Chain A
Amino acid sequence: MKLDNFIGHIHPIKVSEERVRIGTTFCLGGAAFFLFIVLGISGLLLALYYLPTAEGARAGIHDLDHVIPFGWLMRSIHFWAGQLMVAAMLLHTARVVAAGAYMPPKHLNWLVGMTLFILTAGLDFSGYVLRWDAQTFWAAQVVCQLLGQVPVIGGGLQQIFLGGSEISEVGLLRFYVIHCLIGPSLALAFIMYHFWRVRRDGRLGQLL
């Protein structure tokens, strides 16, 4: 997929009125994407004050909440945009199911959407762990144990995601890289493909 091809599909010369009618889609996918952009910008700003170490996480979040001008606002924007993005994505998925838009010819885009569903959940969880307080530390510990229960590859998954069999600062750094770099990059790539397919697959089913 070439980039000019992508832009050509997102901004076609003609779009039928029915296809962009808000009543068909409620623009829930669009809302989720808007929140994704908000999260990207606010997350980039938060990253300037957050260090992914046990001491740095505690100090960074304390400073954001109490010391940095409007740090509390940036954190709240990032938090609530995250909550709303998950909600928008769930409603979008429900809407697609209700409209039967997972059926051919849109079955491939449904799978792309499911991938984005998993990526969003992963981003939500990895961001939660970055708080690194008692609550999120034990949540990470539970997920680490769950990973270990996967047959055959469980131990390997633990090693890959946590850098060991127990949650530690090594694991915090991995959650940080997943949350700030790998997750958003993958999500953006899949989002672009998702949008491109929405246009490409046409109006045989429902849209967005």
Chain B
Amino acid sequence: MSRNPENNLSNSTVGRRRFFSYFGWALAGLASASMSWITCRFLAGNQTQSGLEPCTFGPPGDYPVGTVAKKGRVVLFRDKDGFWAVTDVCTHLGCQPAFLQEQNIFVCPCHGSRFDSEGRLLAGPATHGMTLAALRLGAQGALVAFPKEKVMPGYRFG
């Protein structure tokens, strides 16, 4: 380093060598930061909504009045007015409440929130009801639930 004449200069100015040194470190930092960000995006993948994909059930005739059918994170119900589908995601922290048929309620396994069969809130810690998924007839006349399309409480299909 003693051959570097810049060492004898005052530190108040950034000389050419030091500028290139800073520039190099900045580039290296930028490259590391970009690569870290890219790695995080790669690790995160793109499966964030996987539980909420459309769920295909059988044809409506397969489900008599009083039926309860589960598929993915959707629970399908039928009463005398028609079908409805509850998106089975607790509004508290996203766990999957279990539907207890004898008591006709959903109970969340994580913190005990309760919902009725139409997803309305009965007991906390959740602060609002679960959503209802839109229902449509699919290609082969099968019922398809679309959890990403929320419908109003009291919704009936068919």
User: A residues within 8 Å of B by Cβ?
Assistant: 45, 48-49, 67-71, 73-74
Contact = CB atoms under 8 A, between A and B. Distances in A.
Nearest to A71: B42
Contact of B44 (A67, A69, A73): A69
B154 interface: no
20 contacts: A45-B39, A45-B42, A45-B43, A48-B43, A67-B46, A68-B42, A68-B45, A68-B46, A69-B41, A69-B42, A69-B44, A69-B45, A69-B46, A70-B38, A70-B41, A70-B42, A71-B42, A73-B38, A73-B42, A74-B42
A142 to B, nearest CB: 33
A69 B47 CA distance: 11
A73 B43 CA distance: 13
Top-5 shortest CB links A-B: A69-B41, A70-B42, A70-B38, A70-B41, A68-B45
A151 to B, nearest CB: 47
A48 B43 CA distance: 8
Residue from A48, A67, A70 having most chain B Cβ neighbours under 10 A? A70
Nearest to A64: B42
Interface in B24-75: 38-39, 41-46
Given A45-B42, A71-B42, 8 more contacts: A45-B39, A45-B43, A49-B45, A68-B45, A68-B46, A69-B42, A69-B46, A73-B42
A68 B45 CA distance: 5
Main DSSP-derived SS at the A contact region: loop
Contacts of B41: 69-70
Contacts of A45: 39, 42-43
A74 B44 CA distance: 14
A70 B39 CA distance: 8
A48 B45 CA distance: 10
Contacts of B46: 67-69
Contacts of A73: 38, 42
Nearest to B41: A69
A67 B42 CA distance: 10
A67 B45 CA distance: 8
Nearest to B38: A70
A67 B38 CA distance: 14
A45 B39 CA distance: 8
B88 to A, nearest CB: 26
Residue from B39, B42, B44 having most chain A Cβ neighbours under 10 A? B42
A79 to B, nearest CB: 15
Contacts of B42: 45, 68-71, 73-74
Contacts of A69: 41-42, 44-46
A65 to B, nearest CB: 13
A59 to B, nearest CB: 13
A67 B41 CA distance: 12
A70 to B, nearest CB: 5
Contacts of B44: 69
A84 to B, nearest CB: 17
B53 to A, nearest CB: 14
Contacts of B43: 45, 48
